[in-house]
Amino acid sequence: MKIVLFIIIFVLLILGIYFGYYLINPSQKGKTILDNLNIPHPTVIAHRGASTIAPESTRPAYIKAVQLGADYIEADIHRTSDGKIVVIHDSTLKRTSDIENIYPDRVNKHISNFTYEELLKLDFGSWFNKKYPKKADESFIGLDIIRLEELIEIVEQSKKSTGIVLDIKDIRYYPNIEDDIIKILKKKGWYKDYEDNIDSSDHTSKVLIFSFNLNTLKNFKDLAPNIPRVLLLSNNMMDWQKWDRWLEAADGNVNGLGIKGFISWPWHVAAAHKRDLFVYPYVINEIWQLQILAQIETSGYITNRPHRVVEFLEKLPTLIELEIE
């Protein structure tokens, strides 16, 4: 019995020393990696907009996130059956719209089956008022889905230097969506090819491409190599052994990794930095998480509460002005 206790204490001690070493000596290379890409460090990314204040992925959520000082607003990207690029997280419309009233027999249909005109008949705000009565606002009733062009215009109208993160979803439903996205970015003046002689003040790093799908990221690398790319890893894509394999797959294809918060072990971050990959954990909403991750030196935070992160980082002291709790 004594031997077992001794072994347990010994193992815990070794783990404590290992963890302690990385906490005291975190890899600080993340800042250099981001500086080279002209991305603010640490980066505050508003996940689906300020999505605890207003209905996710809608105009008010993005306007609020821009006002609050997020460096980037994050938008999940899908394509309608008539080829419009729209912003919504889920593959179906039932969670964040009133589809049950408008198209009751199509509730479980994938969003790619709907035309843009059909989507415009749906209300993307009222669900939020029902779910969060304390945060409800009349102006959320009847909110429209937004197109990628409108997302860009929200930033342009704000006159802020906020960037956009495009998280490319469900790629198997959307052949060549990469081309469509780059065309829109070019048309809006948010992407220029190398040969256009971009300079560091240009919009290049105002767009980041995220995806769980490495193939689509490789397609973006071929099409638009100077837009930074982030490979997202979910819980089930990760275990203790898989980290090295993901780093190998990412190396040369993407610039960073987006990982579930609790797998942001400091030695994972350090190993990524060694390969010139930055690391963004998601979804980070609590102060205690920020405290740990700041110590580990992750390169930024993907958050539903950009106001909290901005305040934590002391990036913008105007929260009282904006009446945000």
Contact 77, 177 (CB under 8 A): yes
Query: Is residue 35 within 8 Å of 50, Cβ to Cβ?
Result: no
- Among residues 29, 34, 47, 184, the one that binds ligand G3P under rule CB under 6 A: 47
Q: Which of 74, 123, 178, 311 binds ligand G3P (CB under 6 A)?
A: 74
Is 22 a binding residue for ligand G3P by CB under 6 A? The answer is no
As a residue count, the chain comes to: 325
Q: Which of residues 260-299 bind ligand G3P (CB under 6 A)?
A: 282
CB nearer ligand G3P, residue 22 or residue 206: 206
- Three-class secondary structure assignment of 23-77: HHCCCCHHHHHHHHCCCCCCEEEEECCCCCCCCCCCHHHHHHHHHHCCCEEEEEE
| 155 CB neighbour count, 10 Å cutoff | 22
Distance CA 122, CA 110 (A): 15
CA distance 5 to 13: 12
Residue 318 structure tokens: 């105007």
Binding mask 157-176 for ligand G3P (x = CB under 6 A): ----------x---------
* Min CB(50)–ligand G3P separation in Å: 14
* Distance of closest approach, residue 89 Cβ to ligand G3P, in angstroms: 6
Binding mask of the shown chain, residues 232 to 251, with x at each position contacting ligand G3P by CB under 6 A: x-------------------
The binding track of 192-211 with respect to ligand G3P, each residue x by CB under 6 A or -, is ------------------x-
Q: Nearest distance from residue 104's CB to ligand G3P, in Å?
A: 27
Cα–Cα distance for residue pair 172/158, rounded to 1 Å: 34
CB closer to ligand G3P out of 50 and 302: 302
Q: Which has the closest alpha carbon to 299: 285, 313, 319?
A: 313
Structural contact between residues 174 and 167, judged by C-beta atoms closer than 8 angstroms: no
The residue type of 57 is S
How many residues belong to the site for ligand G3P (CB under 6 A)? 10
Q: How far is CA 277 from the centre of its chain?
A: 16
Asked if 258 interacts with ligand G3P (CB under 6 A), we say: yes
Q: Which is nearer to ligand G3P, 232 or 324 (CB)?
A: 232
Closer to ligand G3P by Cβ: residue 60 or 258: 258
Beta bridge partners of 280: 258
Residue numbers 82-141 binding ligand G3P by CB under 6 A: 89
Residue 56 in contact with ligand G3P, rule: CB under 6 A: no
**From candidates 145, 164, 302, 309, binder to ligand G3P by CB under 6 A:** 302
Q: Where does this chain bind ligand G3P (CB under 6 A)?
A: 47, 74, 76, 89, 167, 210, 232, 258, 282, 302
